Structure 1
């Protein structure tokens, strides 16, 4: 009887594990094949071979790119090199990526940049806020951009307890499986938040006190990462992972693919969703962001290369 009970429990445990593995495979689109959609005018960006996880483009056309992220469970092609912030001027006919120098007094050796956001004050000074994971901890680094010198001056490191104590943070929206990339509409009235696990985008209305009310949920059927808005059209561009299991269990012989979606008429009853780029990993692996500027598209990845396209 005891052995029977043990076998029964063992069988039930295997069944539960199997069920969760099946669910995980389904939620990560493990077996999904990628149908190629590749614009003709695309090229890999020289110098960005170790990731380009997030991209933020100023209204002037200057693009800031975070590179070199080392994340638990993800591969790194340069594990011993610190992360960097790159700059591209999209006004140039043939823009190139340039690594920005960072001022002394900042621990550059442990720089592990993740998400990146920019802010322009009334004096037109540009500030960068970069999520950093030094020694696998979490901080936010504030930099001032010196345009003439093409360099960054480190101003401060934010180590507030709210970065790791979510119980003390004001909840402004709920209902996410795993909230990830967030962007604000050009008119500052709406927040777009990617729910990577649920494979959708939440559209939320922003109130003056920063409370948010949900307007709609747009289901994409793909693991969506970072979101950006086209400054010309208001369309949302999403860097996506078509087969997330390959991202989590990396095999260079069968790498994760990349996919970029464009969502038009976001606030309408039936937004138009189109695939603007898709590759099985032969060119670009693990796309995490897509950002556009006047007909030019930058596609970044978690740990791989970056792509520049003319639309």
Structure 2
């Protein structure tokens, strides 16, 4: 090879090193690797034994029932023998009982046979419709949203499954009608390598899909890892968590057509996950201050992942942390669901739900 070619090759190699370094720095920054946590923000908590991975929690405040979705994600992702047969479920805590008696009760029907629930959502209306919607990641795919009727005691009866080519990599769902819902695609491709590259390069290729009861269409795009989703009590605002964007996006919703118009974003500086809207309109958000630590925890339960709860008060236009733990008490938090003066904390992998006091003080970290 001539000196000229060696020089060109050297410049190309240097350029590649610079590009990879810049991309790596951007990803690590977005993932909270350089985030320093000065101190924990404690709450009075106790653990309730649960199934592995109680990832999402939805509370029916009227019936005093907490619905929890879960399955053993660590075993599935590890590809352990027989992992294809792993089935998850939906569970209920009767919140009308004394707190010391709270426990998980299975309410999952036998249909669908392949059921690994992720995000869930409750829906009820004045006509007596009372339903639960659940994102489902069945072994072998395709991804679906399952719709269940809820009986008086919380038991579920399967209504039907919704499938669509618009369901790429579903994460969470929020129901807005007896058959209609929004769902987040956290990636723009089904290919695992493509998803990894998309995360590393911080591609804004995740989307929000609206299903009107007949068909699903993308109604918002260019989101950086869309995660949790929820809707305001009046149905006019949709909140979407951008995990790698460390922000909550706020969309104005056209109730008639389902279309979304971006109104703005609230940067929270942490890896936001599921969103719970309390009766007073405030948002509780489970969050990962250090996503790199979360990824380590995903493969090794002995490695702790800091867990955080952020309260966002839209009316007052303020936000702050009400709980922050280095990971000893809870690792890989995914949701904080408020119920009166307590909150129920779920997590992605470990078999516990935490019941913690809910502070009204907003703090920085």
Q: How does 1:34-113 map to 2 (within 5 A)?
A: 34=37, 35-40=39-44, 42-48=45-51, 50-60=52-62, 61-68=64-71, 70=73, 81-94=86-99, 95-107=101-113, 110-113=114-117
What does residue 165 of structure 2 align with?
A: 161
1:226 paired to 2:274: yes
- The number of residue pairs the alignment matches comes to 302
Structure 1 CA distance for aligned equivalents of residues 71 and 270 of structure 2: 25
Deviation at 1:175, TM superposition (A): 4.8
Residue from 7, 12, 16 that aligns with 1:9? 12
Contact 1:129 1:143 in 2 (8 A): yes
Contact 2:220 2:260 in 1 (8 A): yes
Deviation at 1:277, TM superposition (A): 1.0
Structure 1 residues 196 and 238: CA distance shift in structure 2, 3 A: same
- TM-score relative to the length of structure 2: 0.74
Q: Which moved more, 1:121-130 or 1:69-78?
A: 69-78
Structure 1 residues 71 and 53: CA distance shift in structure 2, 3 A: same
Contact 2:309 2:336 in 1 (8 A): yes
Q: For structure 2, which runs of at least 5 residues remain unmatched after alignment?
A: 169-187, 189-206, 210-214, 359-365
Q: How does 1:95-134 map to 2 (within 5 A)?
A: 95-107=101-113, 110-134=114-138
Structure 2 CA distance for aligned equivalents of residues 96 and 261 of structure 1: 24
Question: What is the SS of the residue equivalent to 1:135?
Answer: coil
Structure 1 residues 56 and 154: CA distance shift in structure 2, 3 A: same
Structure 1 residues 32 and 136: CA distance shift in structure 2, 3 A: farther
Residue from 268, 284, 294 that aligns with 2:340? 294
Structure 2 CA distance for aligned equivalents of residues 184 and 101 of structure 1: 25
1:191 paired to 2:193: no
Structure 1 residues 291 and 221: CA distance shift in structure 2, 3 A: same
Structure 1 residues 296 and 136: CA distance shift in structure 2, 3 A: farther
What does residue 273 of structure 1 align with?
A: 319
Contact 1:54 1:65 in 2 (8 A): yes
Q: Which moved more, 1:221-230 or 1:68-77?
A: 68-77
Deviations 1:75-117 (A, max 9, x none): 799957421211112222125232324334531xx32110101
